[in-house]
């Protein structure tokens, strides 16, 4: 009789262990330790903040990235109440999208737009709402769903941002851009409030390393991965005319190289068995290809011991991947790097393909030609404006120094962040564009601040330069 009782108990315990691998609401049985440990477990919640910082069909890839990330988290078992999505939401039903209500993140991909929460859209995608949401400050958000990260001391937080960036800044479609210092101050407040156990941040943007370089302490239990170091571009992929190309009815890039690398890995791997460091290494190899001109270097910042934890702790895990085998055919795609296009040039490529594919003599051909010429004219105006600003404030001989000086590794971009914030946002307001080409010059404004520029003189020079011979 005792044998049967013991057998019954063992079967019950076995059933409990199996069931505990599945979600109960958003409470997970997650290991807080790395694979070599056999320590006791805790039951935190996972919170996620997904941010597409651009708008316009020309920037299709950023919202596609964010929608794809949502599907990974949702398939991983996270509840919508714990996933906060910031995206302008203007591409799924844009007139240029010949697949209304459909967004894809790879040429043969599924519709990643389906079911994505519309927490903060349009003008509600702004810095103030984002930082308030991260802090869990419900009274600080204006508009949108009002959803914020209401995390506790045992919870894990995942933040993923995709957009244009520049030295020290991340783009936002409405209002001012997000500076590295403002983000860091918010993270420090979150840490001081003891409202998370650990946090992982992935950033897809040009010069994204500058957001954390010399700024993110190692003692805040935050681990950050960026698509590029502090001085280089990140890259769009699945672009028209490249390999592999998007479907013929989509003349825009579908994704970004860093982003599709970590997400395509997450799509097939068992994230209960893959560590953050293993994912980082795979993405790093796929992104920094030796024979590729201009490939970027994926970087790590903050508390790197967190990288020993499983990805599951921050993204959940899709039960369909429980039996993933490293030898599976799907894995071969993760070692292949698709063709890439600089973030700064993706807009030109979009307009060029619209022009090239439009019927000869058609109104579409005329419109596409005008869009292409307007973008080229705008870029020329921005280039000339920055040269004029530096010349007025420092003299023509200082232009190369202001444009090209780079801080040494380990040091923050700028000393006076208030000066920097004032200049870059003044320049955005007066010279900015949907393509965000102007962001490539944020380093010049940092160098001007480091050189002790008088803010009033600089803002006057910006106003004068941006209003002179302004493009259409």
Calculate ∠ Cα 462-463-469, nearest 5°.
Answer: 100
* 105 occurs within a structural domain: yes
Q: Tell me what pLDDT residue 30 has.
A: 53
Whether residue 269 sits in one domain with residue 216: yes
Question: Distance between alpha carbon 430 and the CA centroid of its chain, in Å?
Answer: 25
Q: Tell me what pLDDT residue 472 has.
A: 53
Whether residue 71 sits in one domain with residue 114: yes
* 268 occurs within a structural domain: yes
Q: Tell me what pLDDT residue 113 has.
A: 98
Whether residue 172 sits in one domain with residue 133: yes
pLDDT reading at 324 higher than 90: no
pTM to 2 decimals?
Answer: 0.90
* 247 occurs within a structural domain: yes
Burial of 6 (0-12, 13-18, 19+ CB in 10 A): exposed
The answer to whether the CB of 305 falls within 8 A of the CB of 275 is no
* 254 occurs within a structural domain: yes
* 5 occurs within a structural domain: no
Tell me what percent of the residues of the chain surpass a pLDDT of 70. Answer: 87
Q: Tell me what pLDDT residue 344 has.
A: 84
What CA–CA distance (Å, rounded) separates 162 from 228? 12
Residue 164 annotated to the active site: yes
What CA–CA distance (Å, rounded) separates 267 from 263? 6
Q: Tell me what pLDDT residue 114 has.
A: 98
The answer to whether the CB of 200 falls within 8 A of the CB of 226 is no
What CA–CA distance (Å, rounded) separates 309 from 378? 46
Question: Distance between alpha carbon 27 and the CA centroid of its chain, in Å?
Answer: 26
Averaged pLDDT score across all residues of the chain: 89
Tally of domains in the chain? 2
Q: Tell me what pLDDT residue 380 has.
A: 95
Whether residue 152 sits in one domain with residue 114: yes
* 31 occurs within a structural domain: no
- What's the pLDDT tens digit per position in 235-247? 999 999 888 999 9
Q: Tell me what pLDDT residue 296 has.
A: 85
The answer to whether the CB of 185 falls within 8 A of the CB of 267 is no
The partner residues of 27 in beta bridges, in order of sequence, read 24, 45
Q: Tell me what pLDDT residue 14 has.
A: 41
- What's the pLDDT tens digit per position in 383-412? 999 999 999 999 999 999 999 999 999 999
What CA–CA distance (Å, rounded) separates 88 from 250? 19
Q: Which of 281, 306, 340 is the last residue of a domain?
A: 340
What CA–CA distance (Å, rounded) separates 123 from 87? 10
Whether residue 381 sits in one domain with residue 328: no
Mean pLDDT (whole number) for 101-122: 97
pLDDT reading at 471 higher than 60: no
Q: Which of 340, 374, 396 is the last residue of a domain?
A: 340
- What's the pLDDT tens digit per position in 182-209? 999 999 999 999 999 999 999 999 999 9
Whether residue 435 sits in one domain with residue 301: no
Mean pLDDT (whole number) for 159-183: 97
Per the listing, tokens 């103030």 go with: 128
Q: Tell me what pLDDT residue 336 has.
A: 73
pLDDT reading at 3 higher than 70: no
DSSP string, 241-298: TSSSPPPTT--S--EEHHHHHHHHHHHHS-TTT-BHHHHHHHHHHHHS-TTSTT----
Q: Label residue 293 by pLDDT band (50, 70, 90).
A: low
What CA–CA distance (Å, rounded) separates 230 from 297? 10
pLDDT reading at 462 higher than 90: yes
Whether residue 417 sits in one domain with residue 305: no
Mean pLDDT lowest among 35-49, 184-198, 308-322: 35-49
The partner residues of 223 in beta bridges, in order of sequence, read 200, 302
Mean pLDDT (whole number) for 431-455: 95
Domain limits for position 380: 358-468
Q: Tell me what pLDDT residue 256 has.
A: 96
* 119 occurs within a structural domain: yes
Alpha carbon separation from 424 to 71, 168, 346 (Å, rounded): 34, 10, 22
Residue 239 annotated to the active site: no
Whether residue 79 sits in one domain with residue 51: yes
Nearest partner of 445 among 408, 394, 375, 410, judged by Cα: 394
Whether residue 304 sits in one domain with residue 211: yes
Mean pLDDT lowest among 59-63, 73-77, 319-323, 392-396: 319-323
Whether residue 369 sits in one domain with residue 257: no
The single residue of 68, 156, 206, 466 carrying the catalytic annotation is 206
Mean pLDDT (whole number) for 93-105: 97
Whether residue 423 sits in one domain with residue 335: no
Mean pLDDT (whole number) for 307-334: 83
The DSSP H or E segment spanning 19 is helix 2-20
Q: Label residue 19 by pLDDT band (50, 70, 90).
A: very low
The single residue of 62, 68, 156, 164 carrying the catalytic annotation is 164
Higher pLDDT pick, 148 / 11? 148
Q: Label residue 47 by pLDDT band (50, 70, 90).
A: very high
Mean pLDDT (whole number) for 423-440: 93
Higher pLDDT pick, 176 / 290? 176
What CA–CA distance (Å, rounded) separates 219 from 32? 17
Mean pLDDT lowest among 17-26, 253-262, 304-313, 346-355: 17-26
pLDDT reading at 468 higher than 90: no
pLDDT reading at 431 higher than 60: yes
Cis before 275? omega within 30: no
* 239 occurs within a structural domain: yes
Tell me what percent of the residues of the chain surpass a pLDDT of 90. Answer: 80
The DSSP H or E segment spanning 428 is helix 417-431
The DSSP H or E segment spanning 178 is strand 178-179
Q: Tell me what pLDDT residue 12 has.
A: 43
CATH number at residue 306: 3.40.50.1460
Q: Label residue 15 by pLDDT band (50, 70, 90).
A: very low
pLDDT reading at 333 higher than 70: no
What CA–CA distance (Å, rounded) separates 437 from 459? 19
Q: Which of 280, 309, 340 is the last residue of a domain?
A: 340
CATH number at residue 407: 1.10.132.130
Q: Tell me what pLDDT residue 433 has.
A: 85
Mean pLDDT (whole number) for 98-105: 97
Whether residue 310 sits in one domain with residue 277: yes
CA 171, 174, 180, 183 dihedral sign is: negative
Q: Tell me what pLDDT residue 173 has.
A: 96
């Amino acid at each position: 009789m005792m044998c049967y009782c013991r057998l019954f108990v063992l079967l019950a315990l076995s059933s409990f262990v199996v069931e505990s691998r599945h979600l109960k609401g958003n409470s997970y049985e997650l290991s807080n330790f790395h694979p070599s440990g056999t320590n006791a477990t805790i039951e935190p919640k996972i919170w996620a903040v997904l941010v597409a910082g651009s708008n316009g069909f020309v920037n299709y890839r950023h919202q596609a990235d964010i929608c794809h990330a949502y599907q990974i988290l949702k398939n991983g078992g996270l509840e919508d109440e714990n996933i906060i999505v910031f995206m302008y939401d203007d591409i799924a039903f844009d007139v240029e999208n010949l697949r209304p209500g459909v967004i894809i993140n790879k040429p043969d991909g599924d519709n990643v737009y389906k079911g994505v929460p519309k927490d903060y859209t349009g003008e509600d995608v702004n810095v103030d709402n984002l930082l308030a949401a991260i802090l869990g400050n419900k009274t600080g958000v204006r508009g949108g769903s009002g959803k914020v990260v209401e995390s506790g001391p045992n919870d894990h937080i995942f933040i993923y941002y995709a957009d244009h960036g520049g030295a020290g800044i991340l783009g936002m479609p409405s209002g001012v851009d997000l500076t590295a210092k403002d983000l860091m101050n918010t993270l420090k407040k979150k840490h001081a409030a003891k409202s998370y156990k650990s946090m992982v941040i992935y950033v897809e943007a040009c010069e994204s390393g500058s957001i954390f370089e010399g700024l993110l302490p190692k003692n805040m239990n935050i681990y950050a991965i960026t698509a590029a170091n502090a001085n280089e571009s990140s890259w769009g992929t699945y672009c028209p005319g490249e390999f592999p190309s998007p479907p013929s009815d989509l003349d825009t890039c579908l994704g970004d190289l860093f982003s599709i690398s970590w997400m395509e890995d997450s799509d097939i791997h068992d994230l209960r068995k893959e560590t953050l460091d293993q994912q980082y290494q795979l993405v790093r190899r796929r992104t920094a290809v030796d024979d590729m001109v201009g490939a970027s270097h994926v970087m790590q910042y903050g508390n790197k011991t967190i990288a020993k934890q499983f990805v599951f702790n921050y993204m959940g895990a899709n039960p369909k991947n429980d039996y993933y085998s490293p030898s599976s055919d799907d894995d071969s795609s993760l070692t292949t790097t698709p063709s890439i296009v600089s973030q700064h040039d993706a807009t030109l490529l979009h307009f060029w393909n619209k022009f090239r594919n439009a019927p000869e003599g058609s109104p579409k051909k005329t419109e596409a030609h005008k869009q292409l010429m307007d973008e080229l004219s705008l870029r020329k105006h921005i280039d000339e404006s920055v040269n004029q600003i530096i010349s007025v404030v420092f003299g023509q001989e200082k232009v190369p120094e202001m444009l090209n000086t780079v801080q040494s590794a380990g040091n923050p971009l700028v000393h006076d962040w208030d000066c920097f914030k004032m200049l870059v946002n003044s320049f955005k307001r007066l010279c900015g564009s949907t393509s965000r080409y102007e962001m490539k010059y944020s380093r010049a404004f940092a160098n001007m601040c480091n050189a002790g520029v008088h803010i009033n003189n600089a803002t006057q020079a910006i106003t004068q330069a941006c209003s002179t011979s302004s493009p259409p």
